Structure formats: structure tokens, C-alpha cells
Structure 1
Amino acid sequence: METNSVALRGVRVEHARVAQMPGERAVHVDVCCAQPQRSAPIDELLGAVVACVQQESGEPAARIAHAVAVRMAQLTESADVQVTLRVAGDGETPAYAGVEWNVHVTDTDVQPADDATLPVRTASHAAVISLESRVPNAADVFRTMIVALDGIPGNQVEGISPLYAVTHADGSAGRSAVVALQTTMSAAHLERALTALHAAHEGAVTCHIVQMSGIGDEERAALDTGDAQHRAAVLAPWMDMDPQATLQGDPLAFLLASAPDAPFVGMESDHWIIGGE
């Protein structure tokens, strides 16, 4: 059956900056793509909206909305995209409820994706992302998360660990996996993208930046790693993916040997990413 349109409503991006508006704001984005020729995964579209807003942070709102519209047109191969960007008021004087911008682009405004002119960071970072979930369909959730991460401009997934089964202290069952990611995003922007994906799945998956190269000491200290250095649920799948990896200078094998949850973690599947359990 042909899809006449695809719409994303109320995509929320925290801590964005908009030119001529003071401070950081929460930005809300609505997107409607008419007659899409490509059925892009929703998580890929959500991740791309978040990435565009973050990459254009500090620019005029109309430019941010236009960047989102162009990227959505590229991803969906839609000839007609409408984007509404709303920024809430900050409660200062003079008071106002919010400001709204509308952008409409057609195929004559959009270059092919390979020639996209959206600005990206030139510095590339190697990041390790942990994924954990207690829902029964955790493997499916992880797959969609990985597709969404890979679909964000400037990101490329370079490694995926086996799927691990985890028994938590309260007796509940869970799953975990680790992803190696090459990204042009800053640590703060990548964390915000992960937060947005966490919210998109209604909290069904917890994700952390466990390690990231090429960032300063302050950025590294600010990372919420989920206490990865003490958790076999993260260390075991990571070591399977990259046996030579280290964390804070210590080999993963050394950290895993002293992890208190090591007896309660075991590999479930090494080919789960292609649909096998």
C-alpha cells in the first residue's frame, strides 16, 4: 500500500540555542513529508531531526528548520516537506508563550544526499555505547536503536557485540549489548541524541557513552558511563567485540574478573543483529 505522507509530531530537543534568543531552550519540531518514496525507519528520522537541530544550534530558527526539512527530504525522498519549529518562552519580561517558524521545501530546494551541504563537525571520535533493557523484545529495541544511531549524519556504526543475557539483583531478566561508533558529534551532542532515543522508546532502553576518544578531560569527566568499569553486563559484550580494549587504562579482562555481577551475565547470541537469537 502506498504511503501518502509521514509525520513526526512534537520531537523535543533539549538545550538548543537559537540566534537572537538568550540561553538554551527546548525546541519542538513537527515534520510532514508528503508522498515519501523511501520508507525510512522512524528512529532514523527522529535521530536525524535531533542531530540537525544540534548541529545548527546557535543559528537563526528559520535556518534550523530549513536544515531539518532538507534532511527529511533526503531521507524520505519526498518532494514536499513542511517543518514547524517552536521555541517556548522563558518567562522573562516581556512575557511570551513561545515563537513558531514554518518552513516548506520542495524537490527544487533539495540536493541529493551525497551532495548535502549541512554543516558537520570535522573532528571524528571513536565512541563505545552500551545498550541495556529489561523488556522481552530487547533485541528488537536494540536493533532499531542501532539503525537510528547509524542514521544520524556524521555517525557510522563500526562494531556490534554479541547479545548478553543479564540477571539483575532483584531477579529480573534483561539483555545488554555494546556498539562501537565513529562520530563527528561532540560528547554533549551525542548524549543528547541518546537521551532523545531513550525517550522515543519510552524508557525501554538505557544507553550510555562508555568511552569516547578525542575529547577533553572536562568532557570525559562529565560522561555518564553507567558505572561501566564495575559492570560485567557492559564489560563482557564489549570484550567479545574488542578483546584488546581498555577502559581508563585497565584491560577489560582485568575489570571483568572483579566485576560483582560477572556470575549473572552470559552470552545469549552472537548473530542476533541479523534476527537470530
Structure 2
Amino acid sequence: MSSDPTTTPVAPEVEQRVDSADTTLHNPRSAVVALGSNLGNRLENLQGAVDALEETPGVRVKAVSAVYETDGVGGPEGQPTYFNAVLVLRTTLPPHSLLERANAVEDAFGRVREVRWGARTLDVDILAYEGVELTQPELTLPHPRAHERAFVLAPWLDADPEAELAGHGPVAGLLAAVGEDGVRRRTDLALHLPQ
């Protein structure tokens, strides 16, 4: 924890990167991405997604939430539990290019899209992109169900305690409204920002 009184202390399971000057990006915007996995080595899948996004030209991972274990929502009965996390990015990629990269990362981890909301090795969803609201078949921003999902809101609040979801308000208030049933913070697990 920093001794600087102007910084907000964060839990040890939450990593944030603060750069005084990030020369790798020009005119970046903030984006928020949710990660989920309930097949294979769930923690390795999530960490692999963090690493792959950080390695993407035009993307810088700025904060990584704690890991949450959650019950499946909206999909087939009897799914294994998920590991979920949220990343805050700075990016120069436009939203559709970021979506293409997210899909490519999923594919690299063996994601199979056969059953809607079915079990998956890796899910990479864009929740929000600074200054962008759109509704298209392939991408809706902000994510149309983010405000209803504790497994998204709890880690998002970890990664950015001041976060707001456009059109819905502060993430802290949204999480308080939906509650945290079926969402358990795993203090024994952590994702790490790439060095």
C-alpha cells in the first residue's frame, strides 16, 4: 500500500497501474471489460485474457479487480460456477476493433458458442467505452444487462470505486440495488497486471 495520502488504498487482490506519462498511447479512452470462465483452469483463463489484452497494441490494462466466484445466470441448469473479474483499460482502439480483439482472445482459449449463456472457457465482454453509446446487432454500449448483474458490478466496483454506468448511475448504487447473492469474493485468488 502506498504511503502517499492522496492515493486511495485498494485491497491486495485489486491491482491498479498509475502512469505519470503513458507514452504508448495517444488520445486514449477508457473502456471497461468483464471476464468470465467456468470451464478448464478458470484462473489461468482469466489471467491469460489479462495478459493477451495488455499485449494488444493500443491497449493498456490500468486496473484488475479481485476474482469472484459466481453462480451461472440465465443459462442452462447445472453449469459449473464461474470465476469473474473486471478490467479497466485505456485504449486507442475504436469499440468495434476492441470487440474483434476480445473475440479473438476468447477463440484463443477455445471458446465454443453453441448454447446461449452456456458454459465457456472464456468470456470477454465490453461493458462500457468512454463517450460511446450505440445499439447494433454485434455490439451494444453500455452493455445492456450490466446494471442487473452482481457478477459484473461487484468486480467493477473493486476495479474502479468511483465507476458510473451511463444511463444508470453509480456502480456502487446499482450493486446495492441488485444485492450480492450468488457472488463470492475469492480472497485466496488474484489476477495480476502484466509487468
Normalized against structure 1, the TM-score is what?
A: 0.50
Equivalence for 1:218: 134
Matched, 1:193 2:193: no
Matched, 1:227 2:145: yes
Aligned-pair RMSD on alpha carbons? 2.4
| Alpha carbons 2:61, 2:87 under 8 Å: kept | yes
Amino acid at match of 2:85: A
Counterparts of 2:142 and 2:109, CA distance in 1: 19
Instruction: Give the structure with higher Rg (CA).
Output: 1
Normalized against structure 2, the TM-score is what?
A: 0.70
Alpha-carbon spacing, 1:255–1:208, altered in 2? closer, same or farther (3 Å): same
Counterparts of 1:225 and 1:239, CA distance in 2: 16
Equivalence for 2:87: 179
Alpha-carbon spacing, 1:264–1:155, altered in 2? closer, same or farther (3 Å): same
Runs of 4 or more above 6 Å deviation: none
- Measured against aligned partners, the alpha-carbon deviations of 1:159-217 in whole angstroms (never above 9, x if no partner) come to 000000102253531110000110000001000110111111111111111111133x4
**Within-5 A mapping of 1:36-55:** none
- State the shift of 1:121 in Å: 8.2
| Alpha carbons 1:208, 1:226 under 8 Å: kept | no
- Measured against aligned partners, the alpha-carbon deviations of 1:197-247 in whole angstroms (never above 9, x if no partner) come to 1111111111111111133x4379733726111000010011122111111
Equivalence for 2:173: 254
Amino acid at match of 1:227: R
Identity %, equivalent residues: 29
Counterparts of 1:185 and 1:270, CA distance in 2: 34
The structure showing larger relative contact order (alpha-carbon pairs under 8 Å, at least 6 residues apart) is: 2
The 3-state SS of whatever aligns with 2:134 is helix
- State the shift of 1:136 in Å: 4.4
**Within-5 A mapping of 1:1-277:** 122-169=26-73, 170-171=77-78, 172-203=80-111, 204-215=121-132, 217-218=133-134, 222-223=140-141, 225=143, 227-248=145-166, 249-259=168-178, 262-269=180-187, 272-274=190-192
The answer to which structure has the higher helix fraction is 1
Equivalence for 1:48: none
Counterparts of 2:165 and 2:90, CA distance in 1: 17
Structure 2: state its 5+ residue gaps: 1-23, 112-120
| Alpha carbons 1:166, 1:176 under 8 Å: kept | yes
Counterparts of 1:246 and 1:270, CA distance in 2: 28
The answer to which structure has the higher strand fraction is 1
Counterparts of 2:189 and 2:158, CA distance in 1: 13
Alpha-carbon spacing, 1:163–1:198, altered in 2? closer, same or farther (3 Å): same
Amino acid at match of 2:126: I
